[in-house]
Amino acid sequence: MRPARRTLRRTDELIAAGLLPRERRTEIEQVAASYAVAVTPDIAELVNVADPHDPIARQFVPDPAELETHPIENADPIGDAAHSPVPGIVHRYPDRVLLKPVQVCAAYCRFCFRRERVGRGHSLSAGELEQALDYIRAHSEIWEVILTGGDPLVLSPRRLAAIMRSLAAIEHVKVIRVHTRLPVVAPGRITPALVHAVKSSGKATYVALHANHARELSEKARAACARLIDAGIPMLSQTVLLRGVNDDAAALAALMRAFVECRIKPYYLHHADLAPGTAHWRTDIADGQALMRALRGRLSGLCQPTYVLDIPGGAGKSPIGPNYLVNIGPADGATRYQVEDFTGRGHAYPPLET
């Protein structure tokens, strides 16, 4: 495999780097015509080209299966458009909004739920950004602003700091959360200047890192995360449950433990959205629930994410993890339950008299 010195965007570059066989050139070019492609040097370095089922390649290297769409799939699977009052804003929940200043990423996940727009849509103009900020200013119920996109950390430190300062000037905004892949896909770009820009609002600021496999947390990625955390910025994780990447208990446990070792609190495990051409990554919900059961009790409580489904159409996220508690009806004037422990054994609550 030839080491990548720059981001790979063209099919010929992926072939030259050993990430694709030459005979797949035509079909991969068809994929690239529909969905943006970018594999950073750091991601290319993590790929084991000798493994045809490599979990890193599966996330970033185009696959002809992406052109196979199903009737249940939707170009806007979680209903962003229905909750976008002005460009760049998604206001789905009462106390928080998404602010999407950019529609580009350093690397493109093949399963992205915004794959119809990222890498191809425009980023916000100065006027659109101001309109988005005006919307936040006008809605005093907005307590938290989530910067997403695209990846907001691809912005220059100067532009990012300007957005953070604008948000800082809004009294009712108390929390800013930044969603990013950058510490994993391009860790060298987490520079002191960028870290300073993230902190520059003076508000409570969190960074949510998207990673799906423990190998993504390379030494360089861990160092990039440490630069943010050591600067006083708490980090959370977001993970998508993906067939062939992390859909077994050992892989998921290794990832959650790696997060905690990096001082990143596991937050969400997302059930994969119904984006076009992503069926080959989606698992069954029952599989996800079984994986959550496998983590419960066997891994530290610090390692437990919340398994969630983003309801199609824009109704928001709901937890869909396994249920351990069953109401078994009243007895002796009290409501009684059966609660299941992590080994699968049932216990009466309150305990039955012996």
Could you give the residue numbers annotated as active site?
92-93, 96, 105, 109, 112, 114, 273, 310, 317
Q: How far apart are CA 317 and CA 185, in angstroms?
A: 26
Adjacency order of strands within the sheet including 264-271: 89-93, 96-99, 144-147, 175-180, 204-210, 235-241, 264-271, 306-311, 316-319
